[in-house]
Structure 1
Amino acid sequence: MLHNEVIEVMKMSRRSLGLRHLPRNIWAVGATSFLMDVSSEMVLNLLPLFLANVLGVGTTLIGVIEGVAEATASLVKVFSGWLSDRLGQRKWLAVAGYALSAAAKPFLYIASSWEAVAGVRWADRVGKGIRTAPRDALVADSIDEKRRGLAFGFHRAADTGGAMVGILGALAAVWMTQGGVGQLTATTFRTVVLVSLVPAGLAVVVLALGAREVGAARSARPPIRFRALGRPFLVFLGIVGLFELGNSADAFLVLRAQTLGTNVLGILGMLAAFNLVYTLVSTPAGALSDRIPRRTVIVAGWVVYAGIYLGLGLAGAVWNMWVLYTVYGAYYGAAYGTAKALVADLVPVELRGTAYGTYSLVVGAMDLPASVIAGALWQSMGPGAPFFFGAAVALLAAGALWIWGRSRVDQAG
């Protein structure tokens, strides 16, 4: 029965999915995310190479810069989400976050030290932290419950489509300015930075002019009381935290590809294929979650993830990586947007911003221990070990989510 539902939704046309009838805010947020991801992915995929090849920064320091940046974003998301609940306003916080990220990017053009690059990177992540929870809450506030999965799926498709375009843009820039795979030059990087400013600026304009405040209910609760989010949300959050413990940084996938002989252009090509599948799967998977329990779609995505990670542990050839990395996009497409739709299902309307900020904090906070465990397993037991661990944890989390979902149904019955 589930198989028939999946086939039916995948065959739906754009009209039958209802995309034409999505509210204006969903289209505005989707277009904004598309444009900002075009800008971000052009630069961020080359930034580590700029640090290493041009500025001579070591991998340890690069890791510190990235780790602090992501941790900062995770902390800011909680406060920003809570603030949007207290104000009953989502749009302008989201606009401010996008504007800060866009304003930071030009400074990469003149950056000539790792300290300057780190400052820009951290400012960009603060912008992401400011905008993410209010933006997600704005999406949830702008759509009815019956189409919530579709809305978040469409948003993820737009966001990831922008990432794919950005990666292809970076690949084209490297190819045209350097004629091949060699080390990144300062001229190439700064050219990409200049080009990236155009979609970043457009992203801010589109959200500011295209979206409308929906008058979210204001929260009268005191600062950030997590218990107020409710037991169902907190249990779901615990299960998500378990899954994320085995979900190490995607940098390990890149390293795994390199151990099998994949070159730089090959890695960028795999990233583009990943984002293409992610884009294609997100919208129909979101629509499917409006017709069947969302946890079923998430569980399916996590099971796919476990299969992919098992394959990564066993992979022995470059073509294995191409297949696995491409299918990896299906996991993201099925699970990521659907999980955000489920968050809105579980919490009071007036606390959605806080909930999205808390969800992002847990996902971000687990990045560090997950990556430390993966690195330790890699060094002590070989490159396949972290992927076997990730597969086992994913299956454990999928089982926990399925059992929890069944118990909720039984209690409701």
Structure 2
Amino acid sequence: MFKGITGNVFILGLVSFFTDVSSEMIYPLLPLFLTGLLGAGPAFLGVIEGVAESTAALLKLLSGIMSDRVRRRKRLVLAGYSLSAIMRPLIGSASSPLAVLLIRTGDRVGKGIRTSPRDALIADSVDPSLRGKAYGFHRSMDHAGALVGPLVATFLLAYFVTDLRHLFWLAGIPGLAAVLLIMWKVTETERTPLQKTGLRLAALPPGRLRRYLLVLFLFTLGNSSDAFLLLKAGAVGTPSYRLPLLWAFFHLVKMLSSMPFGALSDRIGRRSVIVAGWSVYSLSYLGFGVATTEWQIWLLFAVYGLFFGLTEGVEKAFLADMAPPAQRGAAFGWYNFAVGAGALPASLLFGGIWQLEGNVAPFFFGAALAAVAAVLLLMLVPSQQQPDADARRT
């Protein structure tokens, strides 16, 4: 089952697991902490997430480009995870909404620094024929952490901790474990760094890689925050006490499906699996639009979880197949920037359509964009994988 999963890929999977345990011990409780204890309103919560995620999106691009120009990607990965591990539990000491904004932004700065170099390091560390499986494994571990984190927080609050601040401090422990794993177990790969030149932020990668990124950005414009799915679940009558269980079930499906579908892309091709995933997304969003009962919501969350299994790791493997090894970090930087840059307008569009037209039209809008993106991917981006000589030696 784990054949081809190298030491670096395995350790970076564990790092993501512990990091998500730490993050998800805090994140579901952050709105309650802000509005209940610090007196902030929902609008300020939106400001926090908007500023934090926009900052991370830009830094993912910069750090990806930078990682091609240094000999050791591990240093950037370690710096990013270390910053997040330090900042995240400091929310327990925040005495104002502004302090939470600064801490949360610092956490996302760490994410921006580490993500693209880490993704490139994974590609550097695995045989090209097994990239789909490797990225699928990494996403599975990430989702496992997102599943375990809220459960750990619930257990601690039920039996040991009564103050949210104390829980936030405890969330620093798995974050520290992630940092130590990087320091002691992650190894560098042999490669020749690019000559240190200007960053050329205005220049997208050429050829089919550029077309892939543009199509991906179009898809992202229809891929709004999953918080709207929980809002829809509540709108059809799902009790609030079952929403965390629904969310955990969703992460379970993502965790179980990511590696098998990643491995499938190694056998039948990345583009076919991505198109299948975007088609599943379109169908699930059509379903969310017309859903009227709780059992339908549960079924749709399961289908929607398969979309993540089909696409998250495979999209990255497809990118690694197309990117020249010497510019792999920059390619992942542009990939993460495209996804991040599209996330904010996607949610604004979705929310605006919901407010104007009700809770059916925005899901149909997202489904239509996904279908268009799937067709454009087939038309504009060739499916052949042409790893170069350097890639074959990784």
TM-score (norm 2): 0.93
2:267 match: secondary structure: coil
Which residue does the alignment assign to 1:91?
74
* 1:367-400 deviation digits (Å, cap 9, x = unpaired): 1211111111101100111111001111111111
Q: Report the Cα offset of residue 211 of structure 1.
A: 0.6
Instruction: Find the partner of 2:171 among 196, 205, 213.
Output: 196
Letter in 1 for 2:212: F
Aligned residue number for residue 181 of structure 1: none
Query: Which residue number in structure 1 is paired with residue 317 of structure 2?
Result: 341
Distance (Å, rounded) in 1 between the aligned partners of 2:112 and 2:241: 31
**After alignment, is 249-258 or 164-173 more displaced?**
164-173
1:210 aligns with 2:179: no
Does the Cα contact within 8 Å between 2:18 and 2:178 map onto a contact in 1?
yes
1:212-361 aligned within 5 A:
212-220=187-195, 222-225=197-200, 227=203, 229-361=205-337
Q: Is the 8 A contact 2:4 2:130 kept in 1?
A: no
Contact 2:68 2:194 (C-alpha < 8 Å) held by counterparts: yes
Report SS of the residue matched to 2:69: helix
Instruction: Determine whether 1:362 maps to 2:345.
Output: no
Shift, 1:20, TM fit: 4.3
CA distance in 2, matches of 1:192, 1:334: 34
Partner letter of residue 10 of structure 2? Answer: W
The residue number in structure 2 matching 1:392 is 368
Query: What amino acid does structure 2 have at the position aligned with 1:217?
Result: T
CA–CA distance in structure 1, aligned partners of residues 188 and 255 of structure 2: 27
Q: What CA distance in whole angstroms lies between the structure 2 residues aligned with 1:197 and 1:382?
A: 41
Question: Structure 1, residues 133-181: CA drift from partner, whole Å, max 9, x if none?
Answer: 0000000000111111111110001111111111222333455579xxx
**8 Å Cα contact 2:208/2:380 also seen in 1:** no
- 2:354 corresponds, among 375, 378, 382, to 378
CA apart distance, 1:222: 2.8
Task: Could you tell me which runs of 5 or more consecutive residues in structure 2 were left unpaired when the two chains were aligned.
Answer: 385-394
Deviates more, 1:318-327 or 1:344-353: 318-327
- Give distance in 1, aligned partners of 2:192 and 2:259: 28
Shift in Å, 1:251: 1.5
Shift of 1:65: 0.7
Shift of the 30–228 alpha-carbon distance from structure 1 to 2, 3 Å rule, reads: same
Structure-2 separation of matches of 1:323 and 1:219: 48
Contact 1:217–1:349 under 8 Å retained in 2? no
The answer on whether the counterparts of 2:90 and 2:169 sit within 8 Å (CA) in structure 1 is: no
Task: Classify the secondary structure of the residue corresponding to 1:289.
Answer: helix
**Letter of the aligned partner of 2:273 in structure 1?**
V
User: What do residues 68-126 of structure 1 show as CA deviations (whole Å, max 9, x unaligned)?
Assistant: 00000001111111111011321111011000000112311111210111111000000
Moved more, 220-229 or 329-338: 220-229
Which of 137, 143, 166 is equivalent to 2:120?
Answer: 137
What's the secondary structure of 2:313's corresponding residue? helix
How far off its partner does 1:224 sit?
A: 2.9
Map of 2:134 onto structure 1: 151
| Residue-by-residue CA offset, 1:304-327 (whole Å, 9 max, x unaligned) | 111111111111112222221222
Distance of 2:150 and 2:6 partners within structure 1: 29
Cα distance in 1 for partners of 2:378, 2:157 equals 45
* RMSD (Å), alpha carbons: 1.7
Residue segments in structure 1 that go unaligned for 5+ positions in a row: 1-13, 179-186
Residue number among 68, 87, 90 corresponding to 1:104 in the alignment: 87
- Separation (CA, whole Å) in 1 of partners of 2:362 and 2:121: 37
d(CA) in 1 for partners of 2:261, 2:109:
30
In structure 1, the partner of 2:391 is none
Secondary structure of 2:199's partner?
Answer: coil
Give the TM-score normalised by structure 1: 0.89
How far is 1:293 from its partner?
1.3
Residue-by-residue CA offset, 1:326-362 (whole Å, 9 max, x unaligned): 2211100110110001111111101111111111111
Work out whether residues 257 and 306 of structure 2, in 8 Å CA contact, stay in contact via their aligned partners in 1: yes
**Residues 25-71 of structure 1: per-residue CA shift (max 9 Å, x gap):** 11110110011011101111111121112222111111011000000
Please tell me the residue identity of whatever aligns with 1:222: T
Task: Report the counterpart of residue 10 of structure 1 in structure 2.
Answer: none
Question: Per-residue deviation at 1:403?
Answer: 2.0
| Count of residue correspondences | 384
Contact 1:157 1:282 in 2 (8 A): yes
Percent identity between the two aligned chains: 46
How has the CA–CA distance of structure 1 residues 256 and 188 changed in structure 2, closer, same or farther, with 3 Å as cutoff? farther
Q: CA offsets per residue over residues 184-232 of structure 1, 9 Å max, x none? A: xxx4422321331111000000111111011333112633346473211
Equivalent position amino acid for 1:247 in 2: N
Q: Does 1:167 align with 2:142?
A: no
